[in-house]
Amino acid sequence: MLELTGSTQDDLVKLISQGAAENGEVIVAEFQSAGRGRLDRNFIASAGSALLFSFYVVPKRDRADWGFLSQLAALTLHSVVAQGLEEEVLLKWPNDILIADKKVAGLIAQATGEGVVIGIGLNVEMSLAELPVPNATSIAIAGGKKLDRNVILSNFLDAFQQNFQLWDRGVEFITEYTSICSTLGREVEITVVGRENHKGQAQEILKSGALLLADGFIVTVGDVVHLR
Ligand code: BTN
């Protein structure tokens, strides 16, 4: 566990490029001074309030399928977060984790070396005053009692290893993802930097993890706003 770093994601990508990290490597930090979110956003969490980590996986599966890996991580984290919580825990495409419609965790994934580095930020003991934005939450705010970040991390890594081994052998998790994804069936607005916004009804998740709208529009990267 690092007390302080810029970003566990940047640290791990650098180690891989130097040949100093292998499949399965995990970096955890107490605090990040330059935490990165999706779509070039930053990710802010005060020291000790969140579980912040990145890990490296090297799939055998075709690269065309790797897009689903962050969703595999999201559905695995969903199962860990949902344990012991009374409020509804769902996913927002592609991989935000929501408790009662508020974001409790976000994930990023980047292809690096022979595999993918997945970074996760999960608000655990974050107080109301520490929330970076009003539509965020934490396990503690939602009334969760399982707040030991080491236990959460180890539960996640065990569960992810099992799911990953199955997925890497060709087992699909689309049905499982679909059953907990609050985006599907909703009217959504898609925002992609440099492109016009697109509105439509979210219909299906493809094997690659992309979101298919009812009008045939396929979203691979972008931000989704739930309209209704
Ligand atoms: C998002 O919600 O946009 C994704 C947030 C991902 C944040 C995590 S925290 C650990 C890892 N290191 C980073 O710099 N980012 C990820």
Whole-Å CA distances, 194 to 42, 60, 187, 191: 19, 33, 22, 9
Nearest-CA residue for ligand 1 atom 15 is: 36
The ligand 1 atom at the shortest distance from the C-alpha of residue 39 is 3
Q: Give the position, in ligand 1's atom list, of the atom nearest the Cα of 120.
A: 8
Q: Would you say residue 91 has pLDDT above 90?
A: yes
The answer to whether the Cα torsion of 89, 91, 95, 96 is positive or negative is: negative
pLDDT of residue 84: 84
CA 162 to mean position of chain CA atoms? 17
Say if residues 207 and 218 touch (Cβ distance below 8 Å).
no
pLDDT in tens, 129-151: 999 998 999 999 999 999 999 99
Element holding 109 (H helix, E strand): strand 102-112
| 45 Cα–ligand 1 center, Å | 10
- Expressed in angstroms and rounded, the spacing between residue 121 Cα and the centre of ligand 1 is 5
160 CA from centroid of ligand 1 (Å): 17
The half-sphere exposure of 112 on its side-chain side, counting CA atoms within 13 A, is 27
Q: What confidence tier does 222 reach under pLDDT thresholds 50, 70, 90?
A: confident
Q: Which of 4, 9, 110 to mutate to test the pocket of ligand 1 (most atoms within 8 A of CB)?
A: 9
Does residue 2 have a pLDDT over 90?
no
Pocket perturbation via mutation, ligand 1, pick of 4, 10, 15, 120 by most ligand atoms within 8 A of CB: 120
Give the pLDDT band (50/70/90) at residue 40: confident
Residue 77 confidence (pLDDT) above 80: yes
Q: What is the distance in A from the centroid of ligand 1 to the CA of 133? A: 15
- Measure the CA–CA gap between 1 and 188, rounded to whole angstroms: 39
pLDDT score at 114 = 96
Q: Angle at the Cα of 32 (from 48 to 29), degrees rounded to 5?
A: 60
pLDDT, position 215: 96
At 87 the pLDDT is 94
Per-residue model confidence (pLDDT) at position 68: 95
Instruction: Give the number of the atom of ligand 1 that is nearest the alpha carbon of residue 106.
Output: 2
Buried b (16+ CB within 10 A) or exposed e, 190-223: beeeeeeeeebebeebeeebbbbbeeeeebeebb
Alpha-helical runs (H) found in the chain: 8-17, 69-82, 149-168, 174-179
What is the structure's pLDDT at 39? 84
Q: In what order do the strands lie in the sheet with 2-5?
A: 2-5, 26-32, 50-57, 115-123, 102-112, 96-99, 89-92
pLDDT digits (tens, 9 = 90+) for 96-130: 999 999 999 999 999 999 999 999 999 999 999 99
The mean per-residue pLDDT over the stretch 53-74 comes to: 96
The residue contributing the CA closest to ligand 1 atom 2 is 106
Share of the chain above pLDDT 70, in %: 100
Strand partners, 5: 32
pLDDT at 26: 98
Instruction: Report CA(43)–ligand 1 centroid distance (Å).
Output: 6
Across the chain, mean pLDDT equals 95
Read off the pLDDT band of 177 (50, 70, 90): very high
Q: How far apart are CA 139 and CA 45, in angstroms?
A: 14
Half-sphere exposure of 146 (CA within 13 A, CB side): 14
The whole model's pTM is what?
Answer: 0.95
Are residues 225 and 188 in contact, defined by beta-carbon separation less than 8 angstroms? yes
